[in-house]
Structure 1
Amino acid sequence: MKASSTLLDIAHLSKSFGGLKAVQDVSLQVPQGSLTALIGPNGAGKTTLFALMSGFIEPDRGTVRFAGQDITGQTPERNARMGMTRTFQIVQPFAAQTVRENIAVGAHLHLARRRDALARADEVAARVGLASQLDKLASDLTVAGRKRLELARALATQPKLLLLDEVLAGLNPQEIAEMIPVVRGIANSGVTVLMIEHVMQAVMSLAEHVWVLAQGQLIASGSPAQVTSHPAVVEAYLGHGTAERLRQKSGPVAAGAST
């Protein structure tokens, strides 16, 4: 990764649910201004790790530092005010409200006046490709539209760090290809992005650095090319066939390239 100050620093995070060790002694650093990825098989503990970072659950052990401050166990609301915002795998917009009104909810984190929040919603909608659907009810959006709305609501909070939890899940190859530049544009605007993602060609295209989680433990980290060649990653997650295809296709997103 390029040299930069650390925005998020998690050290020795652990969380168990009964006898299940969901996250075990995980440490990683996210540099300011980077676009990085967290990958791994289903049930690896990726979403639990996001919840620990963002304050939705408290760790059994370990620390979370954001923008130089210890925020371990701090509420999601306070973390969002500091600039850490996350999206969710299962998108649940306010169905009876318009796209504009949904985005304005996020904008109200920092903007008290409704007029200002709605104006902010218009700006954010343009960034994620929803400008033509601002007056549409959220319930009338396609799956791809709802994914963009989830992204817009998070972006409206003016985050320093955006945690994207499978923002490409459920999209067809064309929709994935159309979403990639949106995510890249957010990162290029100065927002630090850490994404959980299963669409490996998107990870190869977007991420500067990748961490790989399996059974709650980090098993590898490095550039996308490095981790897809790592024996432990091939064994635990990718499989030999997928790993070989990814090595051969390091360019644009390939249709249907997911694991």
Structure 2
Amino acid sequence: MAERALLDLRGVSIAFGGLRAVQDVSLTVQAGTLTALIGPNGAGKTTLFALMSGFLVPDSGRVVFDGVDVTGRAPHLNARAGMTRTFQIVQPFAAQTVRENIAVGAHLREPKRAAALAAAERVAQQVGLAPQLDKPAADLTVAGRKRLELARALATRPKLLLLDEVLAGLNPQEIAEMIPVVRGIAQSGVTVLMIEHVMQAVMNLAEHVWVLAQGQLIASGTPAQVTADERVIEAYLGHGTAARLRGGQAS
């Protein structure tokens, strides 16, 4: 089967005041893939997600989703077209149950409450929240809230799911338990692009990785290729540490 570009960024840039947060970024996400965007803190990764999904409008460049130019199109319209994102800061409706929270996402496709609640139950099974469906969202652990954020996005029935640090704040066991959940979503036919700092997850999950530093793409390739790239090592570690590593001087 021929590869099909689901998301295509063409020379996307944005500045805030004098700061160029994203500079001339071009990348293509193929349908049916699980890929990752990595980079040091402040690299512009979340800003790039906001440009993709319509929360920000680029100063220049184009965003093409599923063959349609969606540059600057409102997020709710992009969600209806099949592009959904999660957020680093998880904010569930605390007074509602897990089932009701997931149903909020399901209502994008299911106008009737009963159908939305039934869809919520199916999604909860997929992300491992089924035993907690009737629990108030406020009572969930950090790991539970991360799964809930994932479930709400998944309930919109996306073609493309943008995951913004879905593993942040989790302990090693929780990360290990979440990795097969993300893999399962991709295997179900949803295209996934994830921002992630947990390199264990990136190495385990991603077929292709883009590396952003100071708003610019500095490398792309398989996880093994980019983690061996000197520009990537320098971006994460700084010039001094990278030079010592190359010279075999690091302890």
Smaller-chain TM-score bracket = over 0.9
TM-score by length of structure 1 reads 0.91
Contact 1:162 1:194 in 2 (8 A): yes
Residue 4 of structure 1: how far off its partner (Å): 1.4
Per-residue CA shift, 1:210-248, capped at 9, x if unaligned? 00000000000000000001010011115779xx9xxxx
1:113 maps to 2:77 = no
1:221 maps to 2:231 = no
Q: Structure 1: which 5+ residue stretches go unaligned? A: 245-259
Amino acid at match of 2:41: N
C-alpha distance in structure 1 between counterparts of 2:200 and 2:51, whole Å: 27
Residue 154 of structure 1: how far off its partner (Å): 0.1
The residue that corresponds to 2:183 in the other structure is 184
The residue that corresponds to 1:167 in the other structure is 166
The residue that corresponds to 2:144 in the other structure is 145
The residue that corresponds to 2:25 in the other structure is 26
The percentage of aligned residue pairs carrying the same residue is 78
Per-residue CA shift, 1:58-80, capped at 9, x if unaligned? 00000000000000010000000
The residue that corresponds to 2:87 in the other structure is 88
C-alpha distance in structure 1 between counterparts of 2:19 and 2:75, whole Å: 24
Per-residue CA shift, 1:11-54, capped at 9, x if unaligned? 00000000111000000000000000000000000000000000
C-alpha distance in structure 1 between counterparts of 2:230 and 2:101, whole Å: 44
TM-score by length of structure 2 reads 0.94
Contact 1:84 1:159 in 2 (8 A): yes
For the residue of structure 2 that corresponds to 1:171, the secondary structure is coil
C-alpha distance in structure 2 between counterparts of 1:76 and 1:171, whole Å: 28
For the residue of structure 1 that corresponds to 2:124, the secondary structure is helix
C-alpha distance in structure 2 between counterparts of 1:186 and 1:38, whole Å: 18
C-alpha distance in structure 1 between counterparts of 2:79 and 2:196, whole Å: 22
Paired residue total: 241
Contact 1:228 1:238 in 2 (8 A): no
Per-residue CA shift, 1:74-107, capped at 9, x if unaligned? 0000000000000000000000000000000000
Give the 5 Å matches for 1:14-53. Answer: 14-53=13-52
C-alpha distance in structure 2 between counterparts of 1:3 and 1:233, whole Å: 31
Task: Name the CA shift for 1:184/1:62 in 2 (closer, same or farther; >3 Å).
Answer: same
Amino acid at match of 1:166: E
For the residue of structure 2 that corresponds to 1:203, the secondary structure is helix
Per-residue CA shift, 1:117-153, capped at 9, x if unaligned? 0000000000000000000000000000000000000
Give the 5 Å matches for 1:197-236. Answer: 197-236=196-235
Amino acid at match of 1:113: K
For the residue of structure 2 that corresponds to 1:63, the secondary structure is strand
Amino acid at match of 2:171: N
Give the 5 Å matches for 1:63-78. Answer: 63-78=62-77
Amino acid at match of 1:190: G
For the residue of structure 2 that corresponds to 1:148, the secondary structure is helix
C-alpha distance in structure 1 between counterparts of 2:60 and 2:2, whole Å: 29
